[in-house]
Structure 1
C-alpha cells in the first residue's frame, strides 16, 4: 500500500511538473485534456483519486505516454547491482542490464595469473572488441604478437585476429565492451 501511495504522489508531481515546464496554467491543461480546472487541481494536490480514464488524456495533452507518467520512481531502472560470476582465474561482473542490449555487453573483469592465456586459448569470431585497464597490466595475445596494456590504457582490435587475454605480473581489472559475438565467445564459453 505504501508503494502505491508513493507512486500516486510521483504521478501527481509529474503532472504538475510537466504542466509548469510547458508554462501552462491549470486552465490551459484542463482545456487540453477536457477536465475542469478544479478537478485537475484536486488531482495535482492529492485531494482527488486519479482515475485511469483521466490519466490517458492528461498524458496525451502533456505530450507523454501513460507508461512514462506512471513508471516507478525507484532506482532499480537506473542502478545496476552486478553479481560476480567466478571462473578459475577470472571474475566477471555484467554491467549491462541485459546481455547484448543495443548489440553490446559491458562487463568488468578481474583476471589473475592462474588463468592461462597461451596460443591454445586463442579465439576468433566476427566483430571488434574494446577494453580499458583499470588496474594492473593485461597481456593481450593478438595473432603472433603479445601486447601489454597497462592501467589507464585501452585496446581495440578486430576479433577476426586470433586473440586471448590474460594477466601480466599480477591481477588485472578491466572494463570491456563486447559485441554479440564477443559476448557469446568470451562470456558464455568462459572456462568453468
Structure 2
C-alpha cells in the first residue's frame, strides 16, 4: 500500500527550543566545545534536558569547572487547556542561583519558561525561544553560541522601548511663561487637553 508523501507526521510538527548561549570569555576558554552546536537534536518529552559540567549526568555539558555538575533542567509538559508543549526550568545547583527574566530560582525551585526567556547562571546567559509544534511525544533543541550578550535583545532598555519623558506640553502651554520656566507642575488629572 502506497502512502501519500503529503501526510503530516509528528516529525514535521515538533516543538523546537532555540537555545542561544553566551559567556564573556567563550572564545578564549572553549566553554561550549562539548555541545552539538548548529544542529537540531530530537528529545523525548518524557525525559528532562539537563545542563551542567558532568557529561554523563547531563544532556548538554559545559567545559567549565565553575559550573555545577548539574546546573539546571528543562522539563516538557502539556495542559488540558492548550495543545502546545510547554516547559519548566529547575535550578539543580546548590552553589548558585538561576534567574529567568530576572526571577531568581534557588536550589530545586521551578518555574514556567515563557516563549522567550533570558536564563542566567554565573556569567552564562541563555536566550531560549520556543517555536510551537503539534507533536506530543518529542521536541527538538537547537543550540547556538552568540557573539554578543542576549541581554540587549530581551532588555526593556532597548532603543525601541526607551521611556519617553512626558513634558506635559498640552497642559503646561496653558500656563504663562513664568510658570512654565519653573519646571514640572502638578496638574488636575481631570483637566482635558485640547
Same fold flag (TM > 0.5): no
Q: Which has the higher helix share?
A: 1
Q: Which has the larger radius of gyration?
A: 1
